[in-house]
Amino acid sequence: MGIIEKDIIIIGAGPSGLVCAIEAAKQNLDLLVLEKGLLVNSIYNFPTNMTFFSTSEVLEIGNIPFISHSDKPSRKEALEYYRRVSTAYNLDIRYRQTVKSVEKKHFKFEIKTQDQTYHCQYVIVATGYYDTPNLLKVNGEDLPKVKHYYDDAHPYIGQNVAVVGAANSACDVALETYYKGAHVTMVIKDDSIYEKVKYWIKPNIENRIKEGSIKAIFKSQIKEIYSDRILVDTPDGEQEIANDYVLAMTGYRPDYKFLKHIGITLDPEDHVPVFDEQTLESNIKQLYIAGVILAGDNTSKLFIENTRHHGKQIITDIKQKISANYA
């Protein structure tokens, strides 16, 4: 196929990419979304039974009401909602298009995926963080029993499971697997459950730990993983614990290698990209950043709720630039 030309190309069909696409569509701009996986790929890969911590109202985009059965929607409801949003706006999304490079050539950007070249005037990068887990960086992490993504509890019934971490996802996973019959040990590097764990989860996990139904080893870290056990560094010395699965719920981070590769400058300390607060334009003229990647390492600071306005900010600036070019 020949080169595909568009005014605006958005990389990523998560909530942020969709918001940008909707705003561009509202302005009758010629847009295309390139997505390496599926529509809202990250949400699709969230735990099967997860419930959002936000109410459905604050996850709404494009002025389309999000109706859920209880105050906080489930993953399944969110998938249905974002599917309806994308069809309502008839967005042009090309799936299975993994962006490998973005290069400015003369006055245009050239974007290459695994099998196609695209040209455009404006690029919006909205690639999220869910594809790059924070690794434990210990021997044995590459064993198949170590998971950085949790799906559902069934595989862990009756097994010795180590859950690493103490934030929302780790607490959710520890509780869900325990209630389904796993023998759960939490390995936590600090001396308590993370203080900002949601108020409806925190007392539950703390009480399960107190009564001993979920074991927790605080101020500890996994040192090595073997097929049948783990070696844990604890304040009382090294401990060997029988183990069938390690569920490393240690968070995710944007793909910094990709961002640097396309020329975005990142802060050397916290990897926050260089961007204009008002327009979200990066250090590269006419290349914008949307969504959670703007937070760098501080991924818990930005989420769907507080990034829904990014699309408007970016498209307002693009519209002004286009008008200035025609003036």
Ligand X SMILES: Cc1cc2nc3c(=O)[nH]c(=O)nc-3n(C[C@H](O)[C@H](O)[C@H](O)COP(=O)(O)OP(=O)(O)OC[C@H]3O[C@@H](n4cnc5c(N)ncnc54)[C@H](O)[C@@H]3O)c2cc1C
Interface with ligand X by CB under 6 A: which residues? 11-17, 34-37, 41-42, 46, 50, 52-54, 98-99, 126-128, 130-131, 169, 258, 291-292, 303-305
In degrees rounded to 5, what are phi and psi of residue 120? -160, 170
Helix or strand or coil: residue 220? Answer: coil
Q: Which CB sits closer to ligand X, 82 or 156?
A: 82
DSSP 173: H
- Is the CB of 232 or the CB of 292 nearer to ligand X? 292
Looking at beta carbons only, is 155 or 251 nearer to ligand X? 251
Q: Are 170 and 163 in contact (CB under 8 A)?
A: yes
Closest CB to ligand X among residues 13, 187: 13
N residues, the chain: 327
Asked whether 242 and 255 are in contact (CB, 8 A), the reply is no
If the CB atoms of residues 174 and 230 are measured against ligand X, the closer one turns out to be 174
Residue 295 Cβ vs ligand X, minimum distance, rounded to whole Å: 9
Q: Is the distance from CB of 256 to CB of 300 less than 8 angstroms? A: no
Least Cβ distance, residue 54 to ligand X (angstroms): 4
Query: Where do the H-state alpha helices sit in the chain?
Result: 15-26, 41-44, 75-88, 168-179, 202-211, 256-261, 310-326
At its nearest, how many Å lie between ligand X and the CB of residue 72?
A: 7
**Nearest approach, Cβ of 19 to ligand X (angstroms)?**
8
Shortest Cβ 106–ligand X spacing (Å): 23
User: How far apart are CB 30 and ligand X at their closest, in Å?
Assistant: 19
DSSP string, 238-260: EEEEE-SEEEE---B---HHHHH
Phi-psi map region of 272: left, alpha, beta (phi>0 left; psi -120 to 50 alpha): beta
C-beta closer to ligand X: residue 129 or 183: 129
Cα 109 from Cα 327, distance rounded (Å): 23
